[in-house]
Structure formats: structure tokens, C-alpha cells
Amino acid sequence: MVGSGSLLFPTPEYAAFFLVAFLGAWALVPRPLAHKAFLLLASWAFYAWWDWRFVPLLAGVSIFATLVAEALQRITDARARRALLALAVAVLLSTLVGFKYLTFAFSLVAEALERAGLQANLQAPEAPLPVGLSFFVFHAISLVVDAHRRAIPVRVRLLDGLLYVAFFPQLIAGPILRAAGFLVQLDRGPERSIDASAAALLFIKGLVKKVVLANFLATQVVDPVYVSPESATALDALFAFYGYAAQIYCDFSGYTDMATASALLLGYRFPQNFDAPYRARSLSDFWRRWHISLSSWLRDYLFIPLGGSRGSSSRTAFNITVTMLLGGLWHGAGVTFLAWGALHAIGLVAERWLTSRAWPALVRLRRSPLAPALATVVVFHFVCIGWVLFRAPSFEAALGIFAALGRWGPPAHALALAVIVLALAAQWAPARVETGLRRGWARLPLVAQGLALATAVMLIEVWGPSGVLPFIYFQF
């Protein structure tokens, strides 16, 4: 759907916006307050471009969180601090629940009542979902919790707090920054020596992943099958099964690459968000490599406060389950997301249990030279099965995909296979390829770098599709 205006990274609008933001931000660097105020206004303008109606919500959430964080730094009484933290987290979470989960909760209640034979004549509240809500509420929670833990080594100032929550490269789809880390960067101001070669290559890499690979996979391989799995053959479904794993990685990590590059050019650093996730040799390894900024957020602000893995094994299993279920729901208010979280919880608990076993056969298997490759293959397929639940609009559709796998039919086009293999295999590219590219890029004179960037963008534009699809994660 072509809805209201949106400021996606791979668009001419964003290029123009970024040029203005870049020039303004660096021109104002000698005056830190003006620099940050400019970046804050640019970020709010960026948000208004998506949906101006929710700028007050964004401002309100970040002002509230910053004021609470300031107070938490000042107050010394432990009980008062704990009460304030509880209140603040409750307020922030209720914002998220109010906008995102009310309709979902309503549907569950209405269904339960009707199953019990009661006539529930409830009308679902129909509220539009503010874009990026899940991300900025998580930033706000990080701010108050880090302040409560006294993990922020600098004084929280209003402007810094607001900019931390709203900073436009991460505002719509992350990565989720930690208050403790990013407020230090804001306090210090931007790095004056810019890693521009890294930024240029990251941006190109992100564009290729997002505009060329993810769009091709979505429109040609994945969407047609998920839209009507009933008319898909086994090979269609198999391509969509692997194709979506490649698509969601390219889509999301490509977006992160572009966000990180934008921040780098403005003199700020984002933490790593993806680390070749499909190379993981265990599920817990996968969660240390996939959407790292979210999984470490859930670990630090949910799993560990629940008790982490220090208690009994049943208590740990409970903590894992709660974390993964809520992590699933974070991605969308729907039972399929809940099921996706549950599947990963079951996988993680089973994995913990298996690794603590010492059965002779299992020990032999672990010692076999093939074990790492086998583990990678098993973990990848487990993750792919999870992605079916994640992508399918309903359980019916998810089952439809698996049913289609058993229906032989004419082979799909080999080009789709080539793109899937390419998109997945890139995760095994040795690090020295990237270092080499970066060195080569840095040797180019400045004007040649600009020309190379323009040529790359032209190639990507020509090879990409004619319309830019919305990015999957915006709705979360």
C-alpha cells in the first residue's frame, strides 16, 4: 500500500534530508547545544515525515523518561528510587500496550468469552500504530533502568535524553542503543575524524541487501507463496522457505547497515546488530548473532532481572520462556508471533538440557569432526521453521506452506535459487574481503569516492525493482 509519506533510507527524499542534516550538524559542532538541538529537530522532522500526529507522543515519552532518569540520578533513597523506577516502567509499558496490544488482547478476551457461551458485544478499539513505537519505548526504558542502576557515567541532560530516544538513524527500526553507552557519546560530542570509508561501504552493502536482494526475494519468491500457499508447488514452497530466511536477514541487516552508516557520518557509533547469524552453531549462539541490540536488551532488562540462569534448571527454563514469549510479542501483536517465541523458547530449553547430558552417543557426536557443520545445518533449519510462523499471517497459512512442501510440481526458476544461495552464502565471506575493500576505497581520491558511490547507487537503482517496498520491521 502506498500510505502516508515515509522517509525510507533508500529514497531520494532521505538523501536530500541527510545532506541537510549532515551539513547543519557539522556546521554547529563548535556549539554543542546548538548541534544537539539541531539534530533533535531534524529527528523530529524525520518522524513527522512518517506521521506528524505522533510527534507529541515521541516527545512526551522521551521527556518523561529523561526527567525520571534525571531524578533517579539525584535521589539517594533506595526505596524512593525503586518506586519511581516501577512507576516509570509501568507508564512506558502501558503506552506500548495501549497502542499495540489492546486490539489483540480484546480479540483474545472476546474469543474466550464466546467459547464460554457468553455473548460478548465488545467493540475493538481501532487505533493506528505509531511507527517505531516499540523501538522508542525500549530506548526510554533503557534510559530509566540504566539511570536506576547508576550505569550512566555522565549527568543526564534533557537535550541528551531527548536526542538519545529520537536520534533519526535508529528511530524507525533500530538498532536499539543503550542509554549508558550512547549518552556518553552525546556528552563527548561527535567524533571529528570520520570513518567514511567504512560508512560508504556499509551504505552500499545495505542498499544491495535491501533494494536488490530482499526486494527480489520478497516480490518474486516469498510473497506469492505466502499470499496463496494453496496454489504453490513443493519447489515454490521450498524456495519461499529458504528465501524468506535470506530476505528477512537482507532486509533487516541491510537497514541496520544504512542506519549505522548514517550515524557514522554524523560522528556517532552504533553497536553491531548482526554477526553472520546463520553461521550459528547453537540456538543461543544464534541469539547472540541475530538482532543483537534487541536480544541483549531482553537479556539485560528482562532475562537477568528475572533471575537469569543462576537458579534451578526449571527456574531458568521459566525465565527463558517468559523472555522469548515477550520477545515474540514485541515483534507483533498476534498469536503467530507468540508461537514463534514459544518455538524458540522450547528450542533453547531443549538445547540447554541436551548440552548437559553425557550420553555416550551424544558425546561421540559432539566430538565428531562433522559436528560443527551438522549443528549449523540443524540450527539454520530450526530458525527457518520459526520464520514460517513469523511470516505467515495466520496458522492456517503457516500450515499451508508446510502442506505445499509435499506437493510436487514444475520446478521454479533457477535464478531464484541463485539469489537465495548468494544472499545466504555472503555470511561466510572471510573478513579480509571487507578489509581489503575498505583499504582500496580509502586509496581513492575524494572526488573518485563520490563518483564511485554514485555509480554504485546507479547500478543498485537499475537492478532493484521499480517500487520500493516498505521494510518489514517498521510495523513492530
Partner 1 sequence: MTAPSPDLASALQQLTEDPPPPERRYRPREVAVVLATFACCTLLLESEPLLAWSQRFEANGLQVRLHAALATLDEGAQRVGLTRPRRALLGAERALAAGLKWSGEEQWGRVESASAMTALSAELGEPVEAALPEPEPVPVPVPEADVGPAANDAPPAPTEQLGTVLLTGDSLIAGGLATVLSRTLARRGDLRVVHAFQIGTGLANPEVFDWAAQLPPLVAREDPQLAICSLGANDGVALKEGNRVLAFGDPEWRRVYRQRVEALMRALSANGARVLWLGLPPMRDGRLARRAQVLNKVFAEAADQVPRVEYLEVGMLLSGPDGAFATFGKQGDARRVRLRLDDGVHYSQAGARAIARWVMDWVRERFPKRR
Contact residue for partner 1 among 26, 101, 318, 474 (CB under 8 A) = 26
Which cell is 319 given?
525465565
Contact residue for partner 1 among 250, 265, 383, 472 (CB under 8 A) = 265
Which cell is 143 given?
534510559
Rounded-to-integer distance, Cα 278 and Cα 432, Å = 19
Minimum distance, C-beta of residue 75 to partner 1, in the bound complex (Å): 20
Asked about 344 being catalytic, the answer comes back as: no
Cis amide bond preceding 130, omega within 30: no
Contact between 447 and partner 1 per CB under 8 A: yes
Contact residue for partner 1 among 102, 189, 271, 276 (CB under 8 A) = 271
Which cell is 155 given?
549527568
Minimum distance, C-beta of residue 65 to partner 1, in the bound complex (Å): 18
Rounded-to-integer distance, Cα 115 and Cα 109, Å = 10
- Choosing from 148, 291, 331, 344, the catalytic residue is 331
Which cell is 128 given?
493506528
Rounded-to-integer distance, Cα 274 and Cα 381, Å = 18
Contact residue for partner 1 among 55, 234, 326, 457 (CB under 8 A) = 457
Contact between 422 and partner 1 per CB under 8 A: no
Identify whether the C-beta of residue 305 lies closer than 8 Å to the C-beta of residue 326: no
Rounded-to-integer distance, Cα 145 and Cα 156, Å = 13
Minimum distance, C-beta of residue 370 to partner 1, in the bound complex (Å): 24
Stretch that binds partner 1, among 75-83, 157-165, 368-376, 388-396 (CB under 8 A): 388-396
Rounded-to-integer distance, Cα 279 and Cα 443, Å = 32
Contact between 432 and partner 1 per CB under 8 A: no
List, as one string, the DSSP characters of 202-236: HHHHHHIIIIIIIHHIIIIIIHHHHH-GGG--HHH
Contact residue for partner 1 among 157, 308, 366, 376 (CB under 8 A) = 308
User: Among positive and negative, which fits the CA dihedral 424, 425, 430, 436?
Assistant: negative
Contact between 303 and partner 1 per CB under 8 A: yes
Identify whether the C-beta of residue 166 lies closer than 8 Å to the C-beta of residue 204: no
Contact residue for partner 1 among 60, 83, 114, 353 (CB under 8 A) = 114
Contact between 109 and partner 1 per CB under 8 A: no
Minimum distance, C-beta of residue 348 to partner 1, in the bound complex (Å): 7
Subset of residues 51 to 90 that bind partner 1, contact rule: CB under 8 A:
none
Subset of residues 179 to 198 that bind partner 1, contact rule: CB under 8 A:
180-182, 184-185, 188, 192-197
Minimum distance, C-beta of residue 294 to partner 1, in the bound complex (Å): 11
Contact between 23 and partner 1 per CB under 8 A: yes
Total residues found in the chain within this entry: 476
Subset of residues 322 to 341 that bind partner 1, contact rule: CB under 8 A:
323-324, 332-334
Contact residue for partner 1 among 17, 22, 49, 101 (CB under 8 A) = 22
Which residues lie closer than 8 Å to 146 by C-beta, 6 or more apart? 69, 152, 178, 179, 180
Minimum distance, C-beta of residue 369 to partner 1, in the bound complex (Å): 25
Q: Enumerate the active-site residues.
A: 331
